[in-house]
Structure 1
């Protein structure tokens, strides 16, 4: 309960704020600036009340009424929502540099080291230098290939464990085993080792992701920030402090073992520690020097992006394959024709599996890595398609709606039909806007190649080595396909299935 000492100033402040907004709106209306169409707003909260539990679906519905360039007022934050490939191309390609920055939020500031990482930093010399560093040192084709043995080993271990499950006919929590697999692969690549017993890094990362995707009223109505009505600031600080302590321990462990353990493979931390105290980009004097905070920020970005995105994509791909036996059989037949049924899939086989590419492309179309791409911020006032967009306006790209646009994908846009990609190869490098699961332009995901290799390899291996049957009370037609909203959109319910081994003989797994 609030005391009167808080309520009275709050009411006075609200009244003053409304008067100011009314005056400002009258003044703005005298200027001939045409805003994109959008729904009517309420005082103070604007359109926040309209977002609902699944904002990507709500915004898609609103865009059908107000257009693919739609104006919203989220609290005090003027916002533009993009819901078509044509509009996305205009914002993310033609005028990309004007929308290449990120807005600041409490979660990004308190948990993700503010503007020190790659995902949330403002556009400028520092961000360009960090992107170049991550692309060349961590996510290049040679680095992706270097970590191939890790992916193979962890997947081999999973297949071997599932073989034992087959013998007793148990129902497998597919969501859980995929998440654990990706977690192991990411930790080995980034941290050089598996899970830590002394702390639960995955749980902390999940808490950070939950805060990042959660609704925080103070991000939209800034003067409510000091009150911390939701306890959001306290939770962010607690999670950020816990993550920082864990990352500090991990880095210290690496520093102490670098000169001792010569057998351990080089991981992401080793690469970053090798350039600590050096200029982030020697060719750019404004890039700054990489320090410990930079390393922790970059590591956290990589861990979050590596685990959550791949896990969710694989989970949805397998869900759709279980729902569509025809597609599953066609994919298994393709793999068997190329690989045979006496050995497991190798990463080198992936380039020959065209139908696998179609399955993954179709999964990413329907379930993009982020349903709403990480928001951008307008750097300078600009007019696009006759609409005036003022500086500091937030731009939300509804990748989920773009991938399901019936004007592009026809009347079966919501159906899982990989064959639609028979004559259309997606490369996700920013020139195709009909499906943008990794974003586009300067801020598109730099880990596309690593993510695609991991997803394709895991899906191929699991459908090649095993047949999958849904639990006895579930049929393909009634499998629950509801999603939860967040930075990504995982399944609302875990996926369960019963595996049976389908290769002629077991490979001897090292």
Structure 2
């Protein structure tokens, strides 16, 4: 027992000594640099005590005191927080190449897909090659037109599933159904197969995506501990690896199924092309099976998780604002009529629908905080920004800036229709005041597809159903946000769908 106490004391002394040394060296460095303003810090932990359970709101509150650009020390890590459209413009436009990397989080080196995914890969030949493939083989106008039928079929599957529950007067978990719909749509576009065919498999995928989002905040602990980041892996490594092993099994199964069914397809899909590259020794970029699984994993996490969450938050806002819900339904009826579903070609003629979706994204962006890391020493607003410093761009704050948005915390789609916004609509996006998908070369590559899916899905959900919350159907949606850095509802959105218009009855 004495030996255990001795070794624990030695470990504790080493831990404290390391942090004190790093803090001392950090002060020497800061004295030579002109860094942005910073709140008072505590020894060892720096500004960690200022961060609450929900990161975007904590950073938002700090920005009201310390301005649109401020410096934080999170344990052993240094971080710059950006909270204004003007500074975001400098990063996303004027110095886009300089800020074209993402910071390497915590113990990412211990992860099998740590640096091979589209979002995590450093800017360079591999990243440019993968982006080019995605843009030409999945997201180009030609490919999106080719996959229009797939999106139509999957939307019909979703509607039939909800109609079946409505007829039985069964409440549904709206988020779970939207996740299944998003998974199947993107899987069929990228891999020509439905990946959430069975209920148990759909739930497995949903749980995995949720677990991976949750693990993101734990990986950040590695950055906080700096030279002792191995300790974070000891604490959470088993949990992380368990999730990744489950995820790897799922991805491997999907790849094998895809290879087995390859000869039956008329057209090559994105995964066919990636497999060709994988097997070609003379390819421009050598891709291992790990690369393939990392990219497929990013499609799940970045594509399906965020799009289903964005639809969920927007429909929740509409349920809580029945005047907006009814106004949208009337617009759809006046433009589309009552005998057919809203189609993608109708969207340009539905300005209030576009405004509703934009307002939902403004208040509830899929990624409320996006990260960057400069590839070299640089300056922002006259301040020194050292190479590889973690940059947090708080989209949550930028899109709630009272200097830009009137009554910024209110759900008011009309703000995108009034003359001041209508005349300057392009400027709102060009000046980085409205940027729900990020911006610059590392913005979400599927933003146009995502926006189209959001608009069409929200439209048919309003066109076809009333959504009743609670036993009497009069309750409001609980909009409480789950702890962490991402935007998830604490409570599942469980609704009873009531048929307003059945598109399959005629």
Shared fold (TM-score greater than 0.5)? yes
Larger mean CA deviation between 74-83 and 494-503 belongs to 494-503
| Separation of aligned partners in 2, 1:190 and 1:459 | 23
1:188 aligns with 2:188: yes
Residues 340 and 498 (structure 1), Cα distance of their counterparts in 2 relative to 1, 3 Å cut: same
Residues 461 and 34 (structure 1), Cα distance of their counterparts in 2 relative to 1, 3 Å cut: same
| Aligned equivalent of 1:285 | none
Residues 272 and 428 (structure 1), Cα distance of their counterparts in 2 relative to 1, 3 Å cut: farther
| Aligned equivalent of 1:466 | 465
**Could you tell me which of 416, 440, 452 is aligned with 2:411?**
416
1:352 aligns with 2:352: no
| Separation of aligned partners in 2, 1:365 and 1:445 | 16
| Separation of aligned partners in 2, 1:125 and 1:225 | 29
| Separation of aligned partners in 2, 1:208 and 1:295 | 18
Residues 248 and 506 (structure 1), Cα distance of their counterparts in 2 relative to 1, 3 Å cut: closer
Cα shift at 1:109: 4.2
Residues 378 and 493 (structure 1), Cα distance of their counterparts in 2 relative to 1, 3 Å cut: same
1:396 aligns with 2:397: no
| Aligned equivalent of 1:434 | 433
Count of aligned pairs between the two proteins: 497
The answer as to whether partners of 2:99 and 2:372 remain within 8 angstroms in 1 is yes
The 3-state SS of whatever aligns with 2:121 is coil
**Could you tell me which of 206, 211, 223 is aligned with 2:210?**
206
| Separation of aligned partners in 2, 1:281 and 1:406 | 51
Residues 456 and 108 (structure 1), Cα distance of their counterparts in 2 relative to 1, 3 Å cut: farther
Residues 191 and 109 (structure 1), Cα distance of their counterparts in 2 relative to 1, 3 Å cut: farther
| Separation of aligned partners in 1, 2:426 and 2:291 | 30
Cα shift at 1:341: 0.5
1:319 aligns with 2:320: no
| Separation of aligned partners in 1, 2:15 and 2:235 | 21
The answer as to whether partners of 2:464 and 2:502 remain within 8 angstroms in 1 is no
| Separation of aligned partners in 2, 1:279 and 1:429 | 47
| Separation of aligned partners in 2, 1:140 and 1:231 | 43
- Structure 1 residues not aligned, in runs of 5+: 283-287
| Aligned equivalent of 2:40 | 40
| Aligned equivalent of 1:117 | 117
The answer as to whether partners of 2:85 and 2:432 remain within 8 angstroms in 1 is yes
State the Cα deviation string for residues 439-463 of structure 1 (Å, max 9, x = none): 1111100011111111111111111
State the Cα deviation string for residues 281-340 of structure 1 (Å, max 9, x = none): 85xxxxx32332222111111111121111111111111111111111111111111111
1:75 aligns with 2:71: no
The 3-state SS of whatever aligns with 2:35 is coil
State the Cα deviation string for residues 478-498 of structure 1 (Å, max 9, x = none): 532111244530221122333
**Could you tell me which of 259, 272, 275 is aligned with 2:274?**
272
| Separation of aligned partners in 2, 1:134 and 1:379 | 24
| Aligned equivalent of 2:375 | 379
| Aligned equivalent of 1:105 | 105
| Aligned equivalent of 1:134 | 134
The answer as to whether partners of 2:369 and 2:395 remain within 8 angstroms in 1 is yes
The answer as to whether partners of 2:398 and 2:433 remain within 8 angstroms in 1 is yes
1:13 aligns with 2:11: no
The answer as to whether partners of 1:332 and 1:464 remain within 8 angstroms in 2 is yes
| Separation of aligned partners in 1, 2:30 and 2:231 | 33
Larger mean CA deviation between 14-23 and 331-340 belongs to 14-23
Residues 88 and 71 (structure 1), Cα distance of their counterparts in 2 relative to 1, 3 Å cut: same
The 3-state SS of whatever aligns with 1:441 is coil
The 3-state SS of whatever aligns with 1:443 is coil
The answer as to whether partners of 2:277 and 2:283 remain within 8 angstroms in 1 is no
Cα shift at 1:108: 4.5
The 3-state SS of whatever aligns with 1:275 is helix
Cα shift at 1:366: 0.4
Residues 110 and 453 (structure 1), Cα distance of their counterparts in 2 relative to 1, 3 Å cut: farther
The answer as to whether partners of 1:129 and 1:280 remain within 8 angstroms in 2 is no
| Aligned equivalent of 1:491 | 489
Cα shift at 1:110: 4.5
| Separation of aligned partners in 1, 2:399 and 2:282 | 36
The answer as to whether partners of 1:80 and 1:394 remain within 8 angstroms in 2 is yes
Q: What is the TM-score of this pair, normalised by structure 1? A: 0.89
What is the root-mean-square deviation of aligned Cα atoms in Å? 2.7
Larger mean CA deviation between 206-215 and 81-90 belongs to 206-215
| Separation of aligned partners in 1, 2:31 and 2:368 | 37
